[in-house]
Structure formats: C-alpha cells, structure tokens
Amino acid sequence: MSLAQIEIQIIASIVAVACSLLGVFLVLRRMAMMSDAISHTVLLGIVIAFFITKSLSSPLLLIGAALMGVITVSLVELLNRTQLVREDAAIGLVFPAIFSIAVILISRFAGDVHLDTDAVLLGELAFAPFNRIKLFGLDIGPEALYTAGGILVLNLIFVIVFYKELKLATFDPALAAALGFLPVVIHYALMTLVSLTAVGSFDAVGSVLVVAFMIAPPAAAYLLTDRLSRMLVYSALIGIFSAVSGYWLAYLLDASIAGSMATMTGASFLISYLFAPERGLLAQARRRQNQRIEFALTMLTMHIANHTAAQEAELENEVIHLNEHLKWTSQFAMEVVGIAERNGLVNQKNGLLTLTENGLKRASQEFSN
C-alpha cells in the first residue's frame, strides 16, 4: 500500500468523523436534510467571497460559506414560521434557489477559475495527496489532511465543551431556555460549524459525501444505542469504517472513491437497519413473533383452565379441536402446544391437554388480572 493510498484513507476518515459528530445532533433534531441544503448553498458564499478577494485560498471563503449557511437556516425557519409551508418544503424551496444562483455566477463569471460545480458535488480524493504543504522546504503532508484535521479538532472541541448544552437543547429546548442555556445560540453555532465542515471538505470529498457522512453513520448509530455519548462514538466508528471500506471498494471496482464511500455509508446503515439488537428489522420481527407466542400460550392456559372442570372438557381441551375453539390454524395450534409442553405449562395424553402446576399458576394470574 502506497503513501498516497494511506493519506487518502486518513483524510476520508478524518472528514467522516468531523461530519458524523455534527450529524448526530442533526439526526436527533430531525434536521438531517438541512445538512444537504447547507452543503449546497454554502457554494454561493464561496463564490461571493471569491469575487471579493480574487483568491481561492483566502480565509474569507470560509467566512462567506459559514454566513451563507446561517442565512440558509434563517430563511428556512422564516418560511416555516409562516405556517404556510412545512420545514421539508421550505428546505426544498430555499436550497435549490441559492445553489442555482451560485451555479449561474460560476458559469457566467468564473468559467476560467478552478471553481467548478462537479468538483464541489463529487470532489476527488484521488488528487488530495498531490496538493501538499511545504514548511521551510520540507514536505509535511497534504493540505487536505490539515484542513480536515483542523475542522475535526474544532468540531470535537465544540461537542466536548458544549456537550451538556447540546444535549439539553436537542432533547428539551424549552427547559434549556428556562435554565438560561440559550438554545438559539447553540442552534446557530451548530449550523455555522456544519457550514464550515461542508466547505472545508469540498476540495477533498465533495458535498455529496459530506451529506452521506453527516446522515448515514449517525442514523445507523441511532439504531444501535439510546445513549448520546455512545451514539457519538458509534457514529464516528461507522464513518471510519465506511471511509476505509469505500476506498477499497473503489480500488477493486476502479470506480469513484467518493461514490464508493457514500455507497458504504448506505450499506452500513442497511446492516444496522436489519441487524440492530433492539431496533433492527429482524429484532422487531423476532419480538413480534415472541409476543404472538406469549399471547397464544396465555390464551391456551386460560382456555384449558376454563374448561377443565366442565363436562365438555374432553371435547374443548383436545388438541384437534383448538383450531376450532381458538380460531387457530392446525399448524399454529401444534406449534403452541409444543412450546407449552417444553415450557412445562401443559401435559398431553392421548390428545387431551391438562395444565401443570406452572400452567395453572399462569392461568390464575391472568384471571386475577
């Protein structure tokens, strides 16, 4: 494995962690699509700042992008507060309008400048190792590595320092306001960092992968835990896994690196969606099946107990008649009886069911309830 390959994976992993840290709070606030809007609309801030400075390396580009991100959030909330359109519709109205203005400005006035929409959308991680920083003539690594690293450190400091405020403002903004935590300030600070993260990752990974890293790993982590601290850690780990595995998928298929990484974020979410221990699709199906069996066992014990002393006991409590009296299929009736026998709830003799002591106790408890 070459040095360039290692650097690409490190850069992608750092971007993944930086995005996923903020993405956790976007997902919990049900603002996942806001990251998509911001990652596109910041382009207008970059373009305007470039027209002012005439330089692609000016720090004003970051400031312009951050301001445009805040403007995007403000416009969406302004439209939403009118109650004439819902938040998702407001996002769909604001970000195409702002992004299209940026595209028009680029195509009309910046056609000869290295500021094209394809690079913004898709990026090109394969070229990241070639844009290097030299200090006193010494090569100290790719520029994207330090840009992504700086953003990661900034996001990490923000999450650690304001962890309590972020947690409270996310789950109970009214209580946060009552306690003087200024949830509005926290909200706009978070949106500003989302903007900075998006624009800082443009050159390397593009806005599509920024959105993928901000949404998919946190959404996958959300299915794995109920604790915010663990969700942050799981989200970062899933992001790193998606970045590294996505690179090697692109290497094997000779395909787009950013596209392959975005694909792996989706695959990671799909795995969590299917196999998460508590919230996964299979876990839910298993839980519903267990609940169905538990209810059937309760119905069976109550049915037998209700007819044990009656004259029709031999008729009512025969296995072959359960499907008629309890409206079960013959196959399901045999399955429930088998489980009840294994659990020590009933005994079966010549097709006639009788309750054991445990079965009688269970039926008595249900009758008393």
Average pLDDT (113-141) is 68
The domains of the chain are located at 3-279, 285-368
Centroid of chain to Cα 74: 24
**Per residue in 42-101, pLDDT tens?**
888 888 888 888 776 677 877 888 888 888 888 888 888 888 888 778 888 888 898 888
Whole-number Å distance between alpha carbons of 105 and 44: 8
Average pLDDT (203-221) is 86
Supply the pLDDT for residue 270: 95
Helices (H) and strands (E) in the chain, counts: 17, 4
Q: What is residue 321's DSSP assignment? A: G
Cα pseudo-dihedral 66, 69, 70, 74, rounded to 10: 170
Apex 133 CA angle, 53 and 62, nearest 5: 35
Specify the CATH architecture of the domain 285-368. Orthogonal Bundle (1.10)
Distant-in-sequence contacts of 275-282, Cβ < 8 A, 24+ apart = 276/223, 276/224, 277/224, 279/223, 279/224, 280/223
Q: Does 305 score more than 60 pLDDT? A: yes
Higher pLDDT, 345 or 140: 345
Whole-number Å distance between alpha carbons of 315 and 332: 19
3-279 has which CATH code?
1.10.3470.10
Q: What is residue 319's DSSP assignment? A: G
Half-sphere exposure of 242 (CA within 13 A, CB side): 38
Tokens of 27: 């997902």
Tokens of 318: 């025969």
Q: Does 113 score more than 60 pLDDT? A: no
* Cα four-point dihedral sign 157, 194, 122, 102: negative
Tokens of 104: 């028009």
Longest dimension (CA), the chain: 101
**Per residue in 247-274, pLDDT tens?**
999 989 988 888 899 999 999 999 999 9
Supply the pLDDT for residue 156: 95
Average pLDDT (302-323) is 71
Instruction: Using the CB atoms, write b or e for 317-329: b if 16+ within 10 Å.
Output: bbbebbeeeeebe
Average pLDDT (195-222) is 85
Out of 77-81, 118-122, 187-191, 233-237, the most confident range is 233-237
Whole-number Å distance between alpha carbons of 294 and 362: 11
CB 157 within 8 A of CB 22: no
Half-sphere exposure of 331 (CA within 13 A, CB side): 0
Apex 212 CA angle, 271 and 120, nearest 5: 155
Same fold, 3-279 and 285-368: no
* Cα four-point dihedral sign 315, 319, 325, 326: positive
SS (H, E, C) 113-145: CCCCHHHHHHCCHHHHHHCEEEECCEEEEEHHH
CB 102 within 8 A of CB 44: yes
Residue ranges of E strands in the chain: 132-135, 138-142, 346-349, 352-355
Tell which residue, 327, 324, 64, 18, has the closest CA to residue 194: 18
The pTM score is 0.81
